[in-house]
Chain A
């Protein structure tokens, strides 16, 4: 049985790509200069057809043979990039991938005649990227404006359990026709999922009887071979007219929205020995708990760590305080090679000894240490923003790329990440808030790490006092947590003097910035407080125009595009308050005060902008607040959001006017 993760399939009569055979390019194709799908396209993928099936190999198992046949019309010089390609091959001790055939042709129309220029397998250039990865690169000959290029290749891969996803859509060119066929013998089932917003057309499946020869060399010269007869089910999916998907700001990953299909081997059965290979998160987490590369040692006695833990938590009895100390110990004493990773690169004990590792090494060690002092800690696996969403209904280990630690104390849950040097206890990097995560325990408890649950809140307080040279402002900024995290990292890299220099550059040249003080730089659990004084010289005019934000306003609408085809995703919700208390200079009176307003973005008022200004005697009190109460906005909400910021930008530019009183 094939499992369908989404029901975005529509049944369709079998249709074929107009380029179903190699070399079907016509005069008419080449004469076309513009395509309805996108009159501005630099190149158009006319057809992209993939086809995968399994075959027996001589290593005692099965290989996956995938052919790709692609036809691209290059319309402008900016489309030339589509005329180069690369095929990634993984070659390790555990398995290899190789190209078994490759041919490619460039077609040009010259004086009404089609001129072909061919290249072949010998024209591929191999680049050994690193130990396990090779790129086979090619570039098409004689490419001009109007050329059509066509290539076809076949890759034979030992990695049959997770075939490469098939992308029906691209971020560089529109695609008129994209299809993928996958043939699966009855003794395997694959789990399938689809992503993106374009419906896939499923074609009528067909079945064929085939024989699989599996052999294995035993000793030199002799080998055992087995023939398996089985019915193979071929399924085919087609997407027509997929537009190019463009990257917009405030997107976690454009990949989330690309139309594609993914497979994962789920079961094997008769005549093979029945095995449920991967069908639930419970199976995955149970497997992980027993794996040497993950959880096997989490519950061990791990006596080797006891001494150091004891000295770390010495004297503490409160469980939370103990946990905080252990967390700080791992964060401050271990080097993170990469914060990503869901498999350990080394044994727990070695990680402890060498004091370094990837994200899985570090956070699993943290988990083990917390367990060692009898705290309720469990590993959690998630997918970070740039890696795309993981889905609860589609258990697939590859959809996860990040390891965290979850800690329960007195009914309260803390998520911990010890890979970031300056992150506080119970805080996660903003890229971790990307939806589904799974607790690696027997029941595979799901967790939702939603950007909606994180708030970046910032508060600025200003006291504006006239003095003999003009006026001075006492600034106090309680920065948001993530901004504080950035400030800490920048200061560690470039020093405080660079921070102060950059701060100065934010103000006009004739202002003086003094007494810059940063508080809480070392207290990673809390935000940073930035204090300084600004001196604005008086230009001796009879009128003072004053913007009460003093530079803390939005000077530009962050949403520049007029429309949007996929959701806006903020990394967190936001709450920003600016307060100013302004003493009216001696000899001046208030001449004009902006109006107080409140604008709601939604009916419930979860997101709003508030602007309050009030004069009482010799003081003007000002308060501004922007609350963005959710992190995810559908494309339909985009216009509202953009207008909301338009209003903010406009309102925030308003001035308070003081006029000299007649003497």
Chain B
């Protein structure tokens, strides 16, 4: 009797367990499976602002992994550092039917450093776990909590960061005390629902049934198609600093507190500044000399420890060690200038190559959106900008990493959003003269003289500046778009006249530049200035085209043929293309045994609607083709 009861109980218990299936894969509609490697079944992000110095963030997500390429979507990656800690991690693995396979044991969680470069002193770490299951599909579920000790910024909510992951349901809720005010900025998502309680208010956003998608591939801007919510409190606290960031002015006031009083130089450096300024006349020249002194005596080492992620090491620290991160070096430069009686301002920016278009800040949403800091020295109507982490940039020039965008000046009386220098196509230039002498075998000796200026020289500037000849040669040996060549000679000369200019001379022997058959020569006259991006028409595209930088290329090419008796069998028709976002022309001719080509290409800053896709693709497609066009010449009169 006892045994029977026991069996009955066990069966009963078992059946309860068995019906308690969670997230069976059969519940996923087909539309969520198309093009997806993983499906977010449920994600709930819940942020609770307890006070200005205490925030609890509850994370809960359930992801079904459809195939092995979805494995990465099923990983737990919980970052932490001295300002936030991760606690209460729980997790579970379910099979296709939704039966619990196993639960996460805390000893299985890895705790690893998130620092990869040996030049970095950082405290960022991650807790990582991965249920690597062999059988697809499977489902994982994780919970964890983050305890954050500041309200300076909140992680933006990005419910769909991977285009091969679909989202069945995702929500983000932020609860904050009624005596504070929360601001938000939403992209590609429906409006939040607001609820009010006695002491707290809450906003909640939801994303439902969002299929996997194709990333628009040309000139797209991520905020145009990725769902995203940015939130910020007006009153905030970071360490001992309290402030209000409802306006950039207020944001700047609090930032000023982080920087204030850290500009005291040791005596010997003060003397050094005196020594430099006594030998130099004129504000611009003094700035230049002190900037040079900075460049020669310091170097960049990333140091991000706790509050040090936002607050610079003081001037003395840099003076003692000769290194610092961007904040410390900007602060040091500021201190050197101050000693010379020149005032300057810290300028927060979001650095990054413009072409990736990830760097635009939301200008009317005062909040912490920056990853870098540079120095701005007011000087009449043209401020002088200094990138303090570089040992080689000319004084006053910003590369594509920080130019052409908004920066926040931090002044004693608050922040001001202003533009960093914008360089257009009259500055960003590549002017090239190529002369080619072709022999009977199709081999050629080639001399190229190119003058790069502004942002057109950024990449080469990095390569050629202070790099050994051997290293430059190694890069050049692979970089030039000629099928087979020897680089005989090269030379770079930098000119610093406000806007950097780099003059390049190359002497190349190409082994088979032209194809010479019995009576014909096949040659593509444009060797080095070929437009390289190819785009396919995307009928689903809805997002704008963003062209951020503006530049001009002019090429003059002369090809001396191995004889004067060649005539054109198939020539290159002149090409003229003009649009509001660029223009292009190519003209080639043959005269006295010489091919002469002139190519001009300009592209401008522009944001264009998706409706113009055909025209845009056509524009670049024609250029792509024209840049590769070929000439066929025949010998003698036939």
Contact = CB atoms under 8 A, between A and B. Distances in A.
A263 to B, nearest CB: 26
Contact of B68 (A128, A246, A492): A492
A337 interface: yes
Contacts of A145: 296
B512 interface: yes
Contact of B135 (A106, A355, A421, A653): A355
A275 interface: no
A650 interface: yes
A76 B391 CA distance: 10
A77 B391 contact: yes
B134 A335 contact: yes
Contacts of B478: 560
B624 A509 contact: yes
A509 B121 contact: no
A269 interface: no
Interface string A513-541: 00000000000000000000000000001
Contact of A143 (B115, B299, B467, B517): B299
Contacts of B133: 335, 355-356
B470 interface: yes
Given A504-B536, A653-B515, A246 B474 contact: yes
A139 B119 contact: yes
B61 to A, nearest CB: 21
B352 interface: no
B87 interface: no
Contact of A84 (B68, B110, B119, B442): B119
B518 A649 contact: no
Nearest to B392: A77
Interface stretch (B40-48, B316-324, B359-367, B596-604): B316-324
B534 interface: yes
B26 to A, nearest CB: 21
Interface in A587-607: 592, 594
Interface in B563-609: 569-570
B632 interface: yes
Contacts of B67: 492
B466 A77 contact: yes
Interface string B206-236: 0000000000000000000000000000000
B519 interface: yes
Contact of A645 (B321, B484, B519, B625): B484
B322 A137 contact: no
A179 B470 CA distance: 27
A129 B112 contact: yes
Contacts of A592: 517-520
Contacts of A106: 322
Contacts of A80: 299
Interface in B476-529: 477-478, 483-484, 486, 511-512, 515, 517-520, 522
A454 B468 CA distance: 39
Nearest to B618: A509
B511 A650 contact: yes
Which of the listed residues B110, B135, B442, B484 has the most CB atoms from chain A within 10 Å of its own CB?
B484
B134 A77 contact: no
A509 B626 CA distance: 11
A509 B621 contact: yes
Given A141-B320, A145-B296, A128 B468 contact: no
Contacts of B343: none
Interface string A106-146: 10000000000100000001011111000101010111110
B134 A333 contact: yes
Interface string A489-515: 000110100000100110011100000
Given A495-B35, A543-B570, A40 B321 contact: no
B615 interface: no
A646 interface: yes
Interface in A529-569: 541, 543, 545, 554-557, 560-562
A508 B621 CA distance: 9
Interface string B24-54: 0000000000010100000000000000000
Contact of B134 (A355, A493, A509): A355
A136 to B, nearest CB: 11
A460 interface: no
B301 interface: yes
B522 A649 contact: no
Contacts, number: 150
A130 B111 contact: yes
A77 B392 CA distance: 9
Given A127-B113, A543-B569, A545-B632, A333 B118 contact: no
Interface string A320-335: 0000000000000111
Interface residues of A, number: 66
A78 B323 contact: no
B118 A84 contact: yes
Given A77-B299, A130-B110, A560-B478, A646 B322 contact: no
A83 B518 CA distance: 60
B203 to A, nearest CB: 37
A650 B132 contact: no
B506 to A, nearest CB: 15
A81 B119 contact: yes
Which of the listed residues A106, A501, A541, A560 has the most CB atoms from chain B within 10 Å of its own CB?
A560
Which of the listed residues A127, A333, A495, A543 has the most CB atoms from chain B within 10 Å of its own CB?
A127
B476 to A, nearest CB: 9
Contacts of B483: 554-557, 649-650, 653
A650 B512 contact: yes
A562 B296 contact: no
A554 B484 CA distance: 10
A417 B570 CA distance: 55
Interface in A568-589: none
B471 interface: yes
Contacts of B569: 543
A620 B109 CA distance: 66
Which of the listed residues A77, A81, A492 has the most CB atoms from chain B within 10 Å of its own CB?
A77
A493 B119 CA distance: 34
B388 to A, nearest CB: 14
A116 B297 CA distance: 14
B353 interface: no
A340 to B, nearest CB: 15
Nearest to A545: B632
Nearest to A653: B515
A262 interface: no
A385 interface: no
A556 B115 contact: no
B368 to A, nearest CB: 26
A85 interface: yes
A575 B112 CA distance: 46
Contacts of B391: 77
A628 interface: no
Given A130-B113, A335-B132, A143 B322 contact: yes
Nearest to A554: B483
A42 interface: yes
Contact of A141 (B68, B112, B134, B321): B321
Interface of B: 35, 37, 67-69, 110-113, 115, 118-119, 121, 125, 132-135, 296-297, 299, 301, 320-323, 391-392, 442, 466-471, 474, 477-478, 483-484, 486, 511-512, 515, 517-520, 522, 534, 536, 569-570, 621, 624-625, 630, 632
Given A141-B322, A556-B484, 17 more contacts: A77-B391, A78-B471, A139-B301, A141-B323, A142-B321, A144-B322, A335-B134, A492-B67, A501-B536, A508-B625, A543-B632, A560-B478, A649-B483, A653-B515, A653-B522, A655-B517, A657-B520
19 contacts: A40-B469, A40-B470, A40-B471, A42-B468, A76-B467, A76-B468, A78-B466, A78-B467, A80-B299, A84-B301, A117-B321, A130-B111, A130-B113, A141-B323, A504-B536, A543-B570, A592-B520, A650-B512, A655-B520
The 6 closest A-B pairs by CB, nearest first: A40-B468, A650-B512, A142-B322, A355-B134, A335-B134, A141-B321
